[in-house]
């Protein structure tokens, strides 16, 4: 049996207390410990849980408080529910939803979210350790029959999030939420505040300064993540007055982030760093470095004049994939900005697969 306080409680897991053993489901009469010190190293936290009479603190009729943690020697079905950390001034962590069963089967699901691309094993377990044949369900739909009791997802994705349970001859486990967090890898920037300056003086020294925009694609830094095929593209822009460095991070043919680090002649193009969803409105702003003045500006997309504005900004209504591209802006007599990639992301349609995954 499992007490489910709320659907959102099932999903919330990042930033919650450590649970020992590290799983969401437990058999009756087992010991469980919660640790809040992992949140910020402070001992000012107390473990709390929900009950029919309200929120109660560890040490008051349940559990033994130890520093910023809590130990329950024998858990019961009634101990199922939400647990979280809280300070005296009311600061709270996110909650974790624990399921305690009087039955003979649990599904071993990790407490912390699994990162996209990693492997995760969901184990259907009896009270007596042994390999068992079981059926694993996701959101009530049969996902797979496993002969060893272990469901291995080799490269987990957001599609794999959901409520999981298993059924074997010994019985049925509670349901618990498998949480997946997005993979995020910081790009290693080649551009810096000093690099354009150094290149400019180098160009002046060798006497080859020319007016060329997007002269050379100099680098593709491929990261190890094969699934995302993530790489960084760096452009250098040379002019008679400056050298600029523009860097963007792309996933396959899509730009994930775009960042112009060097500035040409003090002209800045402000554009979204993250992809814009189709049918949204997006505004590009052209201004001088250190000012917020609205000077007339020309907006250029991939070498072609796109729009001339009198207030230094261009709004694209109901943006579409056709608007995706490399944009620059020019202020008369002041110069031209570095290029910045505007990425547009299409709406994803969910597809229900036979294995219970919603993509």
Per-run averaged pLDDT (10 residues), the chain, 359 residues:
37 67 93 84 81 86 89 93 88 89 93 88 86 91 91 89 93 92 59 48 49 40 42 45 46 35 61 84 84 81 77 88 89 83 74 55
**The pLDDT of residue 28:** 95
| DSSP H or E run through 7 | helix 7-11
Distance (Å, rounded) from C-alpha 160 to C-alpha 358? Answer: 7
pLDDT of residue 48: 92
3-state secondary structure 16-30: CCEEECCCCEEECCC
Whole-number pLDDT of residue 212? 41
CA distances from 323 to 47, 119, 203, 254 (A): 51, 37, 34, 13
Four-CA torsion 139, 140, 144, 148, nearest 10 degrees:
100
Cα(133)–Cα(213) distance, rounded to whole angstroms? 64
Q: Give dist(CA 221, CA 241) in Å, integer.
A: 28
CB 180 within 8 A of CB 157: yes
Q: What is the pLDDT of residue 128?
A: 79
Residue 61: per-residue pLDDT: 85
Nearest C-alpha neighbor of 28 from the set 117, 109, 96, 103:
103
Position 76 scores a pLDDT of: 93
pLDDT of residue 140: 92
pLDDT at site 27: 95
Q: Is the peptide bond before 212 cis (omega within 30 degrees of 0)?
A: no
The predicted pLDDT at position 211 comes to: 36
Q: Which residue in 122, 131, 98 sits closest to 28, CA to CA?
A: 98
Write down the domain spans for the chain.
7-181, 195-345
Q: Tell me, what DSSP letter sits at residue 110?
A: -
Provide the 3-class DSSP secondary structure of residue 105. Answer: strand
7-181 and 195-345 share one fold: yes
pLDDT for 191 equals 46
CA 39 to chain centre: 19
Residue 266 has what pLDDT?
74
CATH of domain 7-181: 2.60.40.10
Please give the Cα distance from 171 to 74 (Å, whole number).
22
So what's the pLDDT on residue 359?
A: 56
| The domain made up of 195-345 is a member of CATH 2.60.40.420 | no
pTM (2 d.p.): 0.52
Contacts of 81 (CB under 8 A, 6+ apart): 3, 5, 49, 50, 51, 97, 98
């Amino acid at each position: 049996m499992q007490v489910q306080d709320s659907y959102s409680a099932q999903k919330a897991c990042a930033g919650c207390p450590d649970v020992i053993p590290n799983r969401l489901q437990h058999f009756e009469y087992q010991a469980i410990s919660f640790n809040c010190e992992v949140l910020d190293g402070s001992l000012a936290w107390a473990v709390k849980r929900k009950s029919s009479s309200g929120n109660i603190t560890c040490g008051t009729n349940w559990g033994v408080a130890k520093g910023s943690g809590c130990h329950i020697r024998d858990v019961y079905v009634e101990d199922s529910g939400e647990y979280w950390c809280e300070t005296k001034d009311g600061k709270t962590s996110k909650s974790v939803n624990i399921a305690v069963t009087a039955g003979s089967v649990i599904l071993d699901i990790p407490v912390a979210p699994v990162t996209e691309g990693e492997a995760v094993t969901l184990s259907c377990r009896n009270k007596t350790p042994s390999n068992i044949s079981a059926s694993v369900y996701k959101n009530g739909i049969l996902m797979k029959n496993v002969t060893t009791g272990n469901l291995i997802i080799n490269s987990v994705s957001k599609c794999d999030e959901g409520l999981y349970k298993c059924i074997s001859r010994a019985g049925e486990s509670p349901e618990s939420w498998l949480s997946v967090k997005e993979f995020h890898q910081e790009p290693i920037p080649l551009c810096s505040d000093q690099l354009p300056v150094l290149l400019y003086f180098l160009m002046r020294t060798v006497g080859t300064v020319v007016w060329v925009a997007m002269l050379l694609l100099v680098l593709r830094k491929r990261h190890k993540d094969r699934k995302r095929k993530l790489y960084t593209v760096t452009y250098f822009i040379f002019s008679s007055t400056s050298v600029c460095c523009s860097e963007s991070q792309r996933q396959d043919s899509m730009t994930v982030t775009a960042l112009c680090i060097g500035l040409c002649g003090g002209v800045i193009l402000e554009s979204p760093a993250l992809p814009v969803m189709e049918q949204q409105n997006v505004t590009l702003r052209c201004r001088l470095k250190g000012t917020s003045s609205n000077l007339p500006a020309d907006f250029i997309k991939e070498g072609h004049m796109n729009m001339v504005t009198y207030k230094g900004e261009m709004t694209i209504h109901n943006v579409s994939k056709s608007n995706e591209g490399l944009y620059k802006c020019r202020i008369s007599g002041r110069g031209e900005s570095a290029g910045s990639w505007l990425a547009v992301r299409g709406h994803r349609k969910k597809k229900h697969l036979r294995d219970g995954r919603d993509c």
